[in-house]
Amino acid sequence: MVEFWRWKEYRWTAPDADWKNAGIISCGIDVGSVSSQAVIMTDGNLYAYSNMRTGSNSPDSARRALDWALEGTGLKQENMHFIVGTGYGRINIPFANKAITEIACHARGANFMYGPTVRTVLDMGGQDCKAIRCDEKGKVTAFLMNDKCAAGTGRGMEVFADLLQVHIEEVGDLSFKVDKEPPPVSSTCVVFAKSEASALLRKGVPKNEVLAAYCSAMAHRIFSLLERLGVEKDFGITGGISKNRGVVDRLTKELGITSLTPRYDPQVAGGVGAALFAKSLVEKQRAGQVAR
Amino acid sequence: MKANYGYKDGSGEFFITIDTDKCNSCGDCAKVCPPKVIVMITNDYDEVVPAVAEEHRKKIKYDCAPCKPVSGPRNLPCVAACKPVAIVHSW
Ligand code: SF4
Ligand code: SF4
């Protein structure tokens, strides 16, 4: 059976970097409800990361993500000076030295990926969606979480891809291959949207149009979340859905502003933020030791 | 930091906003909240501030209902207790 929802897992190592010269090797692990990332930074520069599906429990998912990020680098877990856990499963990572919320980590990670001009960050994760405002240092100044349901999230998109039998990575592009933009489905609740979509398909509405209707419903829901918090430029999007232009392009159109282009994969922003917090904590520790 | 907890659904917007820059960490709001919707936490920037407890976030409309009778005077102990006016309810 084809698993339409399944996206590709991957890992990355900086091409010309050597960790042996690094003063601080810090690590951030973001265990989300759908995906987990491990990020390793050397002196605050991105060195290696992995992105994989979260398994049935947080400790294992964290372990597997870290092992994969370390793979081929010659680094071992013992070489990490500090590990910060974040995300939904952050309190369940036994080998992390500290847990920090994903809100703080995404803001800090966005500051790294998009630069210090970013003031509004939208994190579209697996199970919830967060609108964050931050200052030039990536410190959170305001946030709003959509705590209610899986609408506008990676999980919702997976369910939908499966229903329509479209590979999840293709949803965005296909949703623009329509003669005219259809009205959004009235519900973004995964359960209702699913039955609404089935009804549209039965009526003979083309698949791409149903995709478009769902993407635009998701975009609109996220828009209203952002509107409540207030959007200040510059704007950056993190998390898995940031790669789905079916949602992103419709959202930025409604907002009337474009989003910045990230320097790195925006799905690892939470992990990057966690690794940067880890680096600061090492610096603090070392400064404390010198003072004493 | 303005921390917004809550949600928006078909029946309206239900958010509790806590302005941690105004908060003096006295803890009174948490003390007077009968169902413990509000609890004190240490946030990511090491500030001791109130937050809406995880288990209440998806249902504050119902959990705060006893403080907000449909008829008769509203009595929000959390808001009344906070001298620096750091807590605002959207509904
Ligand atoms: S309105 Fe009542 S229940 Fe709600 S947070 Fe305030 S004191 Fe607690
Ligand atoms: S009562 Fe006001 S000042 Fe005191 S902890 Fe609560 S929010 Fe802060």
Pocket test for ligand 1, best of B64, B85, B91 (most atoms within 8 A of CB): B64
Q: What is the per-residue pLDDT for A179?
A: 87
Tell me how far the alpha carbon of residue A155 lies from the centroid of ligand 2, in angstroms: 36
Q: Is B37 in the pocket of ligand 1 (CB under 6 A)?
A: yes
Residue A190: predicted pLDDT = 59
Distance CA B59, CA B14 (A): 9
Query: Which position has the higher pLDDT, B72 or A20?
Result: A20
Helix or strand holding residue A202 (H, E): helix A190-202
Which stretch of A5-9, A96-100, A147-151, A217-221 has the lowest confidence by average pLDDT? A147-151
CB contact under 8 A, B45 and A228: no
Do A128 and A59 fall within a single domain? no
Q: What is the pLDDT of residues A187-242, one digit of tens each?
A: 656 566 778 888 888 998 898 998 898 888 888 888 888 998 999 999 999 987 88
pLDDT of residue B28: 97
Q: Say whether both A74 and A20 belong to one domain.
A: yes
A25-70 pLDDT per residue, tens = 999 999 988 899 999 999 999 999 999 999 888 899 999 999 999 9
Q: Is the residue at A194 inside a domain?
A: yes
- CATH assignment of the domain containing B51: 3.30.70.20
> Which CATH number is A155's domain given?
3.30.420.40
Same domain, A122 and A241: yes
User: Residue A286 pLDDT more than 90?
Assistant: yes
Q: From the CA of B15, how far away is ligand 1's center (Å)?
A: 12
| pLDDT class of A131 with cuts at 50, 70, 90 | very high
Number of domains in chain A: 2
Interface of B with A (CB under 8 A): 1-9, 13, 15, 43-45, 57-58
Amino acid A137: pLDDT: 97
* Number of domains making up chain B: 1
Q: Are residues A220 and A283 in the same domain?
A: no
- Tell me, yes or no, whether A3 lies in a domain: no
CA–centroid distance, residue B50 to ligand 2 (Å): 7
pLDDT at position A102:
93
- Own/partner pairs for A55-63, CB < 8 Å, 24+ apart? A57/A92, A58/A31, A58/A88, A58/A89, A58/A92, A58/A93, A59/A92, A59/A93, A59/A94, A61/A31, A61/A36, A61/A89, A62/A29, A62/A31, A62/A36, A62/A38, A62/A89, A62/A92, A62/A93, A62/A95, A62/A96, A63/A95
Pocket test of ligand 1: the residue of B78, B79, B91 to mutate, having most ligand atoms within 8 Å of its CB, is B78
More confidently predicted of A194 and B26: B26
| Lowest mean pLDDT across A98-107, A148-157, A233-242 | A148-157
A vs B: CB pairs below 8 A: 45
For A128, the domain range is: 116-261
- A146 and A93 inside one domain: no
Tell whether A59 and A190 lie within a shared domain. Answer: no
The residue that leads in pLDDT, A216 or A86, is A86
Q: Which atom of ligand 1 is nearest to the CA of B63?
A: 3
Residues of B with Cβ-Cβ distance to A277 under 8 angstroms: 44
One domain for residues A189 and A274: no
Report if residue A4 sits inside a domain. Answer: no
Nearest CA in chain B to A145: B5
Question: What's the mean pLDDT in A79-85?
Answer: 97
pLDDT at A239: 84
Domain match, A232 and A179 both: yes
pLDDT at residue A213, rounded to an integer: 87
For A156-180, write each residue's pLDDT tens digit: 788 888 888 888 888 888 888 988 8
Residues A66 and A104 in one domain: yes
The residue range of the domain holding B86 is 2-90
